[in-house]
Amino acid sequence: MARHLFVHMLGNFSMELENQKLELPGSAFNKTKNLFLLILFYGKTGIERHKAMELLYQNEDGDENSRYGRFRVLVYRLKKYLIELGLMQENDNLQKKGIFCWQPPDLEICVDARIFEAAAKDALGSRTQEALEQACAFYQGEFLPELTSEPWVAQKQVYFQNLYTQCMRQYLLLLKTGKNYEPMLEAAKRAAHLYPYEEWYIGWMEALMGMERWKEAYQVSEELEKNMMDQMGLRPSAKVQEQVQKINMQIRGSSKQLWEIRQELEEKGNSQGGFYCNYSTFAWAYRYEIRRTARDGLSHYLLLCSLTEIQEGNSWFQEGNGLDTTMEYLREAIAVSLRRTDIYTRYSKNQYLLLMLQMKQEDCSSISQRIEQKFRRYPGVRKFRLHYYYTPAVHELDSSWKSPKSFHSPQKG
């Protein structure tokens, strides 16, 4: 009776032999296990030796002979691993006539990526709701995310993600056409959590709108705007803004008691320090304050706070290197440095925009110093530098408004 080996490559990698988790010896991922994954992935067809070598060593130096020598060591180690796991015998071979293929007669091997691939192709051919639903359910996440740096893995990641996108797109369209909003909601929500793309958030909102759950739809639109700004430094498209406008019209048209409306309007959580909001809200607040300024003659200032990384005496913006954590530190420093009447938002991946009300020009320097002091209390921020640019919120009050004043934090925090 054949045993069953199930290999998970979509999402986190794991293997189960007869429903028992199987751990490979050694470190999490090395060249030997990379070769094993290649052999598993290509299944009964197998993979030619020269192709396996090309995929494993294409980013490494060395001539053909040295690569072949290293490759023979990998094959030896892999066979040793499999013997230790009781999955091979000493007289078994991993290759035949230059083709690497591992298909023991007493073992049935299932790879989830191949199962999804077959289901997706079938679903895209039949375009039936049931087949599309099943294919989307098989997709559990990125293909071998721990091995993204391997070129062959990165290529397959794009391939499988495209298959999933096509299936999900067709599935949501069928559900929307049939007004099956409940499964549409679950499918779009899951897709948005796997890949926080605008397309899936739109499907999520449309499902909620179809069920007339307007407030939840608005919350989804806010989550979308936050994710796009934090992860990609982009603002929602015109299509999303159109959806938000529809949602707002429905919310405004709802019938509620005044005390219920007041509860909805009340600020939740800590109300101390500056008021943080998304960019759209910030823009509306700015326009309103400009109108008030024109009438009352109040002085407001805009301040742009930018974060850059110091490298060998130079300073520039570079993604990664703890940027997200550092930007959260900066947000907290700004919040406690501003008054409750001041407003701020995240303008891009490495910038915050502040609107300071009833402020004098010399006060901008004091605000920046407070932000600097608060920010420098956090760990790991010495390699970052802050830059401040400020200008009157109403440019008619300053003839030099087109050239905002600027100042910078010290070279070493």
Report residue 238's pLDDT band, with 50, 70 and 90 as the boundaries.
confident
Q: What is the mean pLDDT of residues 290-312?
A: 77
State the pLDDT at residue 67: 79
State the pLDDT at residue 164: 97
Quote the percentage of the chain above a pLDDT of 90. 36
- Which among 23, 11, 152, 156 is positioned nearest to 87, based on CA atoms? 23
Of 5 and 87, more confident: 5
- Write the single-letter amino acid at 57: Y
Rounded Cα distance between 54 and 81, Å, is 23
Do β-strands 314-316 and 343-348 pair in parallel, antiparallel, or remain unpaired? unpaired
> CATH 1.25.40.10: which residues of the chain?
114-252
> CATH 1.10.10.10: which residues of the chain?
3-112
Q: What is the mean pLDDT of residues 191-199?
A: 91
pLDDT(108) > 80: yes
State the pLDDT at residue 29: 59
pLDDT(412) > 70: no
Q: What is the mean pLDDT of residues 325-350?
A: 91
Q: What is the mean pLDDT of residues 359-372?
A: 88
Rounded Cα distance between 130 and 137, Å, is 11
pLDDT(268) > 90: no
State the pLDDT at residue 409: 62
pLDDT(192) > 50: yes
- Which among 14, 25, 9, 13 is positioned nearest to 86, based on CA atoms? 25
Report residue 346's pLDDT band, with 50, 70 and 90 as the boundaries.
very high
- Output phi, psi for 199, to 5 deg: -55, -45
pLDDT(27) > 70: no
Number of helical H runs and strand E runs in the chain: 14, 14
Of 302 and 244, more confident: 302
Of 49 and 133, more confident: 133
Q: What is the mean pLDDT of residues 231-245?
A: 71
Report residue 83's pLDDT band, with 50, 70 and 90 as the boundaries.
confident
> CATH 3.30.70.270: which residues of the chain?
275-408
User: Considering only 123-137, 147-161, 259-273, 343-357, which range has the smallest mean pLDDT?
Assistant: 259-273
Rounded Cα distance between 209 and 246, Å, is 9
Give pLDDT tens digits for 150-184: 889 999 999 999 999 999 999 999 999 999 999 99
State the pLDDT at residue 289: 83
State the pLDDT at residue 224: 83
What architecture (CATH level 2) is domain 275-408? 2-Layer Sandwich (3.30)
Per CATH, which fold does 3-112 belong to?
Arc Repressor Mutant, subunit A (1.10.10)
State the pLDDT at residue 402: 45
Q: What is the mean pLDDT of residues 354-378?
A: 89
Per CATH, which fold does 114-252 belong to?
1.25.40
> Which residues sit opposite 387 in a β-bridge?
306, 408
Report the mean per-residue pLDDT for the chain.
83
pLDDT(316) > 60: no
State the pLDDT at residue 378: 92
